[in-house]
Amino acid sequence: EAGVTQSPTHLIKTRGQQATLRCSPISGHTSVYWYQQALGLGLQFLLWYDEGEERNRGNFPPRFSGRQFPNYSSELNVNALELEDSALYLCASSLGQGSTEAFFGQGTRLTVV
């Protein structure tokens, strides 16, 4: 069974540009979580989608946004990129509300120059 897949693996952008990161959850999973992991820091919660709806967001500015598609895949968009946005962006999926175990993809390494 395929795990959580993220694309691209690496992404290099210039300050001020926009970045789009993609995530495909495990088959049958309806919840998708996005986390940011800056170098040397812990996982910071960004966004949670379930059944196509945004259920919660972390303490990040509005230029971090996303959506979940009918097939439960998800996009994370980061507008007006800043150097501090350079990090590993991780997507995790779970069976949905009522299920607690989340499984992660390998991440997208975003570098802003």
Partner 1 sequence: EDQVTQSPEALRLQEGESSSLNCSYTVSGLRGLFWYRQDPGKGPEFLFTLYSAGEEKEKERLKATLTKKESFLHITAPKPEDSATYLCARSSGGSYIPTFGRGTSLIVHP
Please report whether residue 106 would count as binding partner 1 according to CB under 8 A.
yes
Please report whether residue 38 would count as binding partner 1 according to CB under 8 A.
no
Question: What is residue 83's DSSP assignment?
Answer: G
What does the alpha-carbon distance between residue 63 and residue 100 come to, in Å, rounded to a whole number? 28
In DSSP terms, 47 is beta-bridged to 34, 57
Burial of 109 (0-12, 13-18, 19+ CB in 10 A): middle
Please report whether residue 87 would count as binding partner 1 according to CB under 8 A.
no
Nearer to partner 1, 78 or 102 (CB): 102
Please report whether residue 103 would count as binding partner 1 according to CB under 8 A.
yes
Burial of 111 (0-12, 13-18, 19+ CB in 10 A): middle
Nearer to partner 1, 45 or 60 (CB): 45
Please report whether residue 92 would count as binding partner 1 according to CB under 8 A.
yes
Please report whether residue 104 would count as binding partner 1 according to CB under 8 A.
yes
Instruction: Give the residues lining the site for partner 1 (CB under 8 A).
Output: 4, 6, 31, 33, 35, 41-43, 45, 48, 55-56, 88, 90, 92, 94, 97-107, 109
